[in-house]
Structure 1
Amino acid sequence: MTQASLNTGSGGNVKEVKSGPWRDGIRSFMRNKTAVVGFAIVVFFIILALLAPLISPYDYKAQVLSERLQAPSATHWFGTDDLGRDILTRTLYGARISLWVGFVSVIGSIIIGTFLGILAGFYGRWVDMIISRVFDILLAFPAILLAIAIVAILGPSLQNALYAIAIVNIPTYGRLVRSRVLSLRQEEFITAARATGVRDARILFRHILPNSLTPIIVQGTLGVATAIIEAAGLGFLGMGAQPPEPEWGKMLSDSRQFIQTAPWTVIFPGVSILLTSLGFNLMGDGLRDTFDPRMKR
């Protein structure tokens, strides 16, 4: 229910300021300078990824061996790599791949993890025991090692890397939602719904899920940064995107032997990974401060 507060202007006129959960949340988020900076970074890279074909006149696959390892110049702002490909172009198209992997893998993790977490927290008993043991098994392995194992089984490719990243992050969201559901199912409005004969499916998706979205949104924003780093790690090991796809981790791997002679081949994709991860982390921290009442001053 939307409420309104009244402010008195300099002329004595009463000024109505609308308020509500979403409006208050947006105003709180916008007052957080670091969160706004993170949001700006994320939007900047999204725009670059969308406009990549319009920004760069080069083909990211085009090889001009006569121009290999050229330093940044007016012709090639970020220089060229060992095959004469324009690094700026490949960095822009690499943003498409990294952001796509980040968003899609996190969405997949959220959908599966949320579903399993709700079932485990709501029904408990043997359902909770089985799902929780599956989460424990997945969490027993370091995420990157488990992702490497999954890709090794499925075969090196960007799609399989995306599947691996989504799978290893499912327990994060599942345990988060499970803990939220365990607290919500004891609330009076859930007890009242059960007493009136409301079906479990309606309680889950009408009452419990909407009240569990806040931590999911926050963790999902932070999870995109983690997914981008994991995708870069798999790409660096040759288990992610395959040539000639311009994935940032693969670009770092291909250029590591030129760190001393042509450092620009490593700097620009590395800085891109750093900035995108930083942007999502700052934005996620800002959302946490906005939605968590304990973080409010």
Structure 2
Amino acid sequence: MNNLHTKSKMGGSLRAGCGILLFILLFILIGRLLTPYDHLSQNLAEALESPSRSHWLGTDHYGRDIFTRLIYGGQLTWIIAIFATLIAIVIGTLVGLFTAWWGGWFDLIVMRLVDVALAFPRIFIVLLVIGLGGSSIELLIWLLALFSWMETARIVRAEVSTHKNFAYVKAARASGLGTNRILFRHIFPNIAGPVIVSAILLITNIILVESSLSFLGLGVQPPFASWGTILNEGKIDPLGNWWISVPAGVCILVTVAGFNLIGDGLRDLFDPYRLN
């Protein structure tokens, strides 16, 4: 009975998270079919209009339609988060695989460097790099990725350190298979679950960090916009012109909640101890 209850709860989290993210994806992918406006075109005669039939979510200080900017801003937010997460997961997985496999002094040195990197306030380093070198979407993606792979490396290392002593790995080594084949054809498929969960949770963190940087004016730069940029545009008068920032904030919160629900469901799915 407890097992059935756990599976039902796990399935509920996954379904709820997938439903939320599907709604957000449909909004940012096909929502532009519902609006006749361009997200960059300005119309000062319609600046700071409250929500109406012609502008469902109102306009900003330059007369740009908020609904349209939310759609395109969401696309850019997701693009940055997905690419940064993919890069971080690839780097973290490779580092974790090879450090655990080779072990010894290599593992010791690399993991101590990872611990040092995790101890640093990475957001301040990102701010410093952007402040010195300027900001672009490509730079932002790489910075977010390069400061986000360490947790994945530690997770993968722990899993590989356990699996490399299992019988199937010893049999693969005894049969003369090469390191790469053992790691990528035999071990990685068996540890993919924790990596997927790590990726889901990582993308939520990257969305929040990117939104924070853009809100501070250090992330996505005008005329382009992410949800964080739209939040920044609404900070001048957040109460009087609430329709500028509130929808973007809601989109960020709902998206993060969706990913967290999926992460919780997948974590339970891949953790046999929770099912028992």
Q: TM-score w.r.t. structure 1 length?
A: 0.87
5+ residue gaps, structure 2: 1-6
Higher gyration radius (CA) = 1
Which aligned pairs between 1:209-228 and structure 2 lie closer than 5 A? 209-228=188-207
Q: Could you tell me which residue of structure 1 aligns to residue 266 of structure 2?
A: 287
Which aligned pairs between 1:175-194 and structure 2 lie closer than 5 A? 175-194=154-173
Q: Deviations over 1:130-155 (max 9, x none)?
A: 32122122201233223223333442
Alpha-carbon separation, structure 1, partners of 2:190 and 2:95: 16
Residue 56 of structure 1, aligned match among 35, 49, 53: 35
Task: Return the structure number with greater strand share.
Answer: 1
**In the TM superposition, what is the alpha-carbon distance from 1:37 to its structure 2 partner?**
1.3
Contact kept in structure 1, 2:227 and 2:252, CA below 8 Å: yes
Task: Return the structure number with greater helix share.
Answer: 2
Q: Deviations over 1:241-294 (max 9, x none)?
A: 110112111111121011121111110111111111111111111111112112
Aligned length: 270
Report the CA distance shift for 1:29/1:129 in structure 2 as closer, same or farther (over 3 A).
Answer: farther
Report the CA distance shift for 1:174/1:150 in structure 2 as closer, same or farther (over 3 A).
Answer: farther
Alpha-carbon separation, structure 1, partners of 2:8 and 2:223: 40
Report the CA distance shift for 1:69/1:147 in structure 2 as closer, same or farther (over 3 A).
Answer: same
Alpha-carbon separation, structure 2, partners of 1:31 and 1:110: 24
Q: Could you tell me which residue of structure 2 aligns to residue 67 of structure 1?
A: 46
Q: Partner amino acid for 1:104?
A: F
The percent identity for this pair of structures is: 37
Q: Partner amino acid for 1:53?
A: R
Counterpart of 1:152 in 2: which secondary structure?
Answer: helix
Q: Could you tell me which residue of structure 2 aligns to residue 19 of structure 1?
A: none
Q: Relative contact order, CA 8 A, sep 6+: which one is greater?
A: 2
| CA RMSD between the two structures | 1.6
Counterpart of 2:50 in 1: which secondary structure?
Answer: coil
5+ residue gaps, structure 1: 1-27
Contact kept in structure 2, 1:161 and 1:234, CA below 8 Å: no
Alpha-carbon separation, structure 2, partners of 1:112 and 1:29: 35
Counterpart of 1:259 in 2: which secondary structure?
Answer: coil
Alpha-carbon separation, structure 1, partners of 2:158 and 2:132: 32
The range that moved more, 140-149 or 170-179, is 140-149
**In the TM superposition, what is the alpha-carbon distance from 1:176 to its structure 2 partner?**
0.6
Q: Partner amino acid for 2:205?
A: T
Contact kept in structure 1, 2:85 and 2:206, CA below 8 Å: yes
Contact kept in structure 2, 1:146 and 1:168, CA below 8 Å: no
Alpha-carbon separation, structure 2, partners of 1:88 and 1:123: 52
**In the TM superposition, what is the alpha-carbon distance from 1:107 to its structure 2 partner?**
0.6
Counterpart of 1:32 in 2: which secondary structure?
Answer: helix
2:245 equivalent to 1:266: yes
